[in-house]
Chain A
Amino acid sequence: MELQAVLMAAGGGSRMMDLTYNTPKPLLPVGNKPLIWYPLNLLERVGFEEVIVITTKEVQKMISTDPKVKLDVKMKLDLVCIQEDADMGTADALRHIQQKVKTDVLVVSCDLITDAALHEVVDLFRAHNATLSMLMSKAHEFTETVPGQKGKKKTGEQRDFVGVDGTGKRLLFMANEADLDEGVVIRKSIMRKHPRMHIKTGLVDAHLYCLKKSVVDFLADNKSISSIRGELVPYLVRKQFSKSTNSPKVIDETHQNLKKNDSNISSRDEELLHLTQERSCWNDHRGDMSDAYHGGRLRCYVHIMDEGICYRVNTLAAYIEANRLAPKLFDEPAVHPSAVVSERCLIGADSIIGASCQISDKTSIKRSTIGVSTTVREKVKVTNSIIMHGVTIEEGCNIQGSVICSNAVIGRGADIKYCLVGSAQRIEPDGEHTTASPHLMSKACSA
């Protein structure tokens, strides 16, 4: 077996509590499919046959009981539950399943929506015998207005500084602004080996990592590392250039194949690999006297996507943007065959109507997503909005640029602009609500 897929679906969605207080993040509907469907579909498309899914008990229960949450994948899913309040980081979760990990792993986050060619990432991992290979993408500006926010979105997030070499594939430097005190500090040893470094800041980390099995074993011994992105990846990137080549319990030693516990096999193989490298005329850099890879055994690579879809749905803005673009990723009909759509309504080409919906006469639905089992009565105008499952919209409503969560009821004649209506909320008839009315959020998150 070459790679095992691990899907991290235990995250809380702390940056979009308005949406996730009622529905766990992996099950949020995007384009009328649960969010977790997208990475699962990606893995299935490239040929994986089984996936280890690390999730919470709540999500597991909803997947097995709720008929609206249909995962629709042919792969075998091995669900591993962890406690919700255990506050486990992604690296902790990986340590938790160490016994199940038999080969190198491909770690994916449940909130990744992308059409990237995964073979680019995995090829870097294979060809260079890398320890880590990850996927990043050029960030795109979010164009949709986010309900509940006045004006343009402020970039409150701290920037990531990513340093790559001349080819753009080898990862040399990775740091987050939060960890840097005054400036970007780059060690001289790195500059000596790679005098030309490109530092990029406008990149989105897709949280898709190919890791060697020895890294998982290393995590088991180093319990202080709790997050893959926050701690493990920067550690591995730094370790590429560390001077110590024989420090104890380091990844170098565990790289050798200890499958049969026969050190003769591994040392003889190492000799052959060394002989190959010695006889081959390839070098990854020019201009100095060092061998390929500067003799380093630990290598980290990154594939940066220029074009294509790559979103991490971890904020409200990303959620809205993803809903807009998700239909491009699968080619099911925009209007579900079981939806009852009356003839005299206008449904734009970029809208999606979910199963068992009822759309009445004289409605206009443009650039919107209508969830499963939603009822839309006459003379309703829905523009640029996301309507989740089980919502009832009475006659004459006008909904623009908003997100209406599941099972909400919008009273007759209501006018809602750029708002987020919480789950199971009732909007009074003839109400006029714009961004300035925060009381639309559900009682649970009125803080």
Chain B
Amino acid sequence: RGVPYQTVTLIHQSMVKRLPEHVQVDDPAVVKRLAKKLERQQIPLRSDYGYKVSLFSHLHQYSRKAPLTQLLSIPSTVIHPSIVRLGLQYSQGIVAGSNARSVALLHAFKQVIRDYTTPPNEELSRDLVNKLKPYISFLNQCRPLSASMGNAIKYIKKEISNIPSQCKEEEAKTKLLTCIDRYIEEKIVLAAKAISKYAIEKISDGDVILVYGYSSLVNNILCEAFEKSRKFRVIVVDSRPRLEGREALRRLVQRGISCTYVLISALSYILPEVSKVFLGAHALLANGYVMSRVGTSQIALVARTYNVPVLVCCETYKFCERVQTDSFVSNELDDPDDLMVTRKGKTQLENWQDVSSLGLLNLVYDVTPPDFVDLVITDLGMIPCTSVPVVLRVKNLDQ
């Protein structure tokens, strides 16, 4: 299956819990099963790259220099061109960030739906879902799906299956396209506006706000607060190798907000100045843990030590029913070559693969326990971290 994690609906049928394939890469039987599935769907298998640190050897590790497209035909016939473009943009990091990836995914699905024609003797509600499965596998190979993308895919699949069989194709397609537009509008755009409204109440004049890396939502909040003439300054904390904070810094300074920029190693020096910490989230897990960019848990930990309030901003569509207590079980390994840096023409780690006792680890996510998070600001309101299962239950009831 293309969706990377199993869902357990709290009310209805209980399904057999199976470990998802993407965290069992060191099990040859699972890898073989995955290869067979991809072969059936005519998607090429992307091979792992480089030495993996043993603690994370159960995860995939790909190289950016070996894109999946070199195994595909040009022009791509098996996979819709907009999905190929999306996969490339994911693997090269052109579309990065939970919200951006979800919007791009839904945009590509709109193109797919527009170009889709029901084959004879088939029903749109079943055939279209089957058509989407190889695309989802392909995207998963390019870059593991995020929790928000998984939820969006679940939503679309549900909408497609709910199309009545007597519905004509054109009508069904228009209905699906409007559903997608409405999803984006409600869950992303309007949610951002609602979260900003709540969050601005928490920003008072004279605040020194610390943000980590780039979170589109937190940036949005800060820009809106500045528009509403709150007086505050921002400290942007950044970390290698992604250095996403530079982009956050650029956008804030462009608006006129006064910013300070430090690397995460300077965190404990700068925290005494900070009055609040705003963090973005990749996903909120069912046990209240926050999954976010690697380094977030450290920020939350040090902030707790200095008694600085930590506020996490997250839309409800990123809530997922997974439970995780550590960052090892399920994570993403990025290209280890990103850790190499060239200074004055010399790259010290150039031949890291030749050193047998050396492994480069480029983690993407980590989980922050709810003890370090004081408040979660969602579009449903401001809730404590432990109320996430309640929100999920309410969401399931709605659906």
Contacts and interface: CB of A to CB of B under 8 A. Distances in A.
Given A276-B100, A279-B97, A280-B94, A48 B75 contact: yes
Contacts of B111: 269
Query: Would you list the 6 A-B pairs with minimal beta carbon distance, nearest first?
Result: A47-B73, A2-B75, A280-B100, A281-B214, A279-B100, A2-B81
B107 A272 contact: yes
A46 B184 contact: no
A48 B74 contact: yes
Interface of A: 1-4, 46-49, 106, 117-119, 122-123, 126-129, 265, 268-269, 272-273, 275-283, 286, 289
Given A48-B75, A281-B216, A272 B247 contact: no
Interface of B: 67, 69-70, 72-77, 81, 84-85, 88-89, 92-97, 99-100, 103-104, 106-107, 110-111, 114, 181, 184, 188-189, 214, 216, 244, 246-248, 250, 253-254
A119 B250 contact: no
A126 B253 CA distance: 31
Q: Is the interface of B mostly helix, strand, loop or mixed?
A: helix
B70 A119 contact: yes
Nearest to B91: A127
B142 to A, nearest CB: 11
Contacts of A275: 103, 184, 188-189
B88 A123 contact: yes
Nearest to A277: B100
Given A276-B107, A281-B97, A289 B247 contact: no
16 contacts: A2-B74, A3-B75, A47-B74, A119-B67, A119-B72, A123-B67, A128-B94, A129-B85, A265-B114, A269-B111, A280-B216, A281-B100, A281-B216, A282-B95, A283-B250, A286-B246
B3 to A, nearest CB: 21
A130 to B, nearest CB: 11
A127 B75 contact: no
Contact of B248 (A47, A106, A118, A281): A281
A355 B73 CA distance: 32
B178 to A, nearest CB: 10
Contacts of B214: 281
Contacts, number: 100
Contact of B107 (A48, A128, A269): A269
A268 B178 CA distance: 11
A80 B359 CA distance: 57
B293 to A, nearest CB: 10
A29 to B, nearest CB: 28
Contacts of A4: 75
A48 B76 CA distance: 9
A282 B107 contact: no
Given A282-B93, A282-B96, A2 B216 contact: no
Contact of A276 (B76, B77, B81, B103): B103
B73 to A, nearest CB: 2
B69 A123 contact: yes
User: In this complex, which of A122, A282, A286 has the most chain B Cβ atoms within 10 angstroms of its Cβ?
Assistant: A282
A281 to B, nearest CB: 4
Contacts of B100: 276-281
Contact of B95 (A48, A118, A276): A276
A269 B216 CA distance: 20
A278 B184 CA distance: 14
B379 to A, nearest CB: 16
A255 B222 CA distance: 34
Contacts of B96: 280-282
Most buried by A among B93, B99, B103: B103
Contacts of A269: 107, 110-111
A267 to B, nearest CB: 12
Contacts of A119: 67, 69-70, 72, 74
Contacts of A129: 85
Given A128-B94, A269-B107, A279-B216, A2 B76 contact: yes
Contacts of B70: 117, 119
Given A123-B88, A269-B107, A289-B250, A280 B67 contact: no
B107 A273 contact: yes
Interface centre among A123, A280, A281 (most CB of B within 10 A): A281
A123 to B, nearest CB: 5
Given A269-B107, A272-B184, A46 B74 contact: yes
B252 to A, nearest CB: 11
A278 B251 CA distance: 10
Contacts of A1: 75, 81
A232 to B, nearest CB: 22
A78 B379 CA distance: 57
A49 B250 CA distance: 46
B92 to A, nearest CB: 6
Contact of A280 (B77, B88, B95, B107): B95
A273 B184 CA distance: 12
A46 B254 CA distance: 45
